[in-house]
Structure 1
Amino acid sequence: MVKRIKLRKDFPCPACANQRISSDWTCTDGEPLYLNELGVVECQSGKHSGKVINQTWKCESSYHNGQYQKADLEGFTFALSQAVQLMSEAGPEWVANLVTEVGNQYGK
């Protein structure tokens, strides 16, 4: 069974991760966002879901200029490295699977 983890406020914005700005990660319908080890982001109900590579992100940073933006592999990887919650909640095997899947999505 696929395990998904709720993205909390300490998950940095992957689109501008070098600024270490986070957000209350919610779907456009206001539901919390979750990430699974297959590299899929989805809202709580599962009505909206998609691969990390297609996901758009927006935090409070002026970098976004009010717009949602996609993350590149470097930004998403940096966000993962800062997200201690993932390792503590899901474990190293889950994180390793996620890193592999995200790499596959980005063709690496």
Structure 2
Amino acid sequence: MPTRYALRMNCPVKGCSGANRVASGWVCSKDKDTMYIDEDGYLSCQTMAHRAQIVYWKFDCGQRGSGSNHNYERYQSADLEGFTHALSIGMAHLNEGGAVWLCKLITNIEKQYKG
């Protein structure tokens, strides 16, 4: 079983005004509980009832109105650039996993997007 940590990052949707905000925790829209990320490149809710590769998740950071891509479609997919940017900002919250864990995560995310 991979090691997972609470997902803390800003919005990974490219062009979203929430991309420049302070990193925050994410919540599973179905379960209303904490989202987690693991080194295999999967996101999951606390109960693991919903678990999938990052490339298949859609994000809603709550930003609405002009200047936000969420104004038109609430849940949006993140591209590799947007997700890695958000992850790099939230990296301080993932340092508990260590360098090996983080390197494995980055490698697995890149594999998902470049398939």
Q: Tell whether the structures are fold-level matches, with TM greater than 0.5.
A: yes
Which amino acid in 2 is paired with 1:13? C
- Give ranges in structure 2 of 5+ residues lacking alignment: none
CA distance in 1, matches of 2:18, 2:55: 18
In percent, how many aligned pairs have the same letter? 38
* 1:91 corresponds to: 98
Match of 1:14, SS state, is coil
Total equivalences in the alignment: 105
**Rg comparison, structure with higher value:** 2
Which amino acid in 2 is paired with 1:5? Y
Where do 4+ consecutive residues of structure 1 move more than 4 Å? none
| TM-score, reference length from structure 2 | 0.82
CA RMSD across the alignment: 1.9
| TM-score, reference length from structure 1 | 0.87
- Give ranges in structure 1 of 5+ residues lacking alignment: none
1:1-108 aligned at under 5 Å gives the runs 1-8=1-8, 11-15=9-13, 16=16, 19-21=19-21, 22-28=23-29, 29-62=31-64, 63=68, 64-65=70-71, 67-83=74-90, 84-86=92-94, 88-107=95-114
